[in-house]
Structures are given as C-alpha cells and as structure tokens.
Amino acid sequence: MANWCSNTVVFEGKPEAITQIQQLFQILKDKEEQTEEGQLPDFADCTNGGYFFNIYWNEGDEGNFQYETKWSPNSEILRSIADRYQVDFVQDYEEMGNGVYGRATYQNGILDDVCLSDEDLETYEFDEDTDSYHFEGETYDSDCEILETLLERKLSLL
C-alpha cells in the first residue's frame, strides 16, 4: 500500500486561465468519485504516475487545490497543466513516512523544487516519554512548526 503525499497547489495567472484550471480539477474530482481511481488530465503523460486522489478545495478559493498522490509530489504533472494554461504555481507537499517535505515553484517556465534532506530532518528529535519534539533548545508539541522553519531557511538561501 502506498504512503500518501499531501499536496497543496496554488496556480497564479490570468483569471480566465484559472477558471479553466478550476473546471479541469472539477472534472478530475468528478471522474475520481465515479471510478474510485486516481485521475490525470487527458493531456498529461501517464507513464510516470502522479495521479490525483481526494481532490478538494475551499469554496471561493479559485486556483487553490489540495489533493493526495502516492509516495511523492506530482510536480511534473502540475508543470504540464501550467504550460497548457500559461500560468505559474506554488506546490507545498509532505509525506513524512518517507521524509518528504518541500515546495516546488514554477515561474516563467522554470521549476524549482526545494525539499528537506535527511540531514535537515535529523536536526530535531522526538521524545516518546513526553510526546514532544526538541529543536534548537525549544520544545514543540508538533513537528509542523519545525518543518516550516527548516524549509523557510532553505528557501531563503536561494
């Protein structure tokens, strides 16, 4: 059974392109609900996976989508969508079972993918006795803030 990678993507571009992408994601969501299988746009290369599962968005959030993929993010599929509709995107993703946490940015035809390394993930510890995380002398109830801090530091070096 696959580990599920959680993805959030925000497309940016002309309003009419964002509307078309919104319609595309609605079609993918409807097909998934009918077939109970992950979906790809008809124009996407299906040889490398990247299927969309459990697609959803908040009412009124045009161009902002959450979904799951198996094992890893599907940035290349998002790139094909962005190229087709001539838009940019920012994708945040995480699958902590395999230590996958990062952000892909596609702007002006260039895809930058920054993710945390094993060394980054080794900079904090989980204490089972106290059910807490320890990072740089501080204690946290969750590793979310730590992961965000580590990623922001890495992004600031670009």
Report the pLDDT value the prediction gives residue 136, as an integer from 0 to 100.
97
- In whole angstroms, how far apart are CA 15 and each of 21, 22, 60, 62? 10, 10, 13, 9
Sheet strand arrangement including 110-115 = 53-56, 64-70, 4-12, 88-95, 100-107, 110-115
The CA–CA distances, whole Å, from 17 to 51, 68, 155 equal 22, 23, 28
Two structure tokens written together for 113:
């993918």
Please write the tens of the pLDDT for every residue from 5-48.
999 999 999 999 999 999 999 999 999 999 999 999 999 877 77
* pLDDT beyond 90 at 158: no
What is the Cα–Cα distance from 156 to 150, expressed in whole angstroms? Answer: 10
State mean pLDDT over 134-141: 97
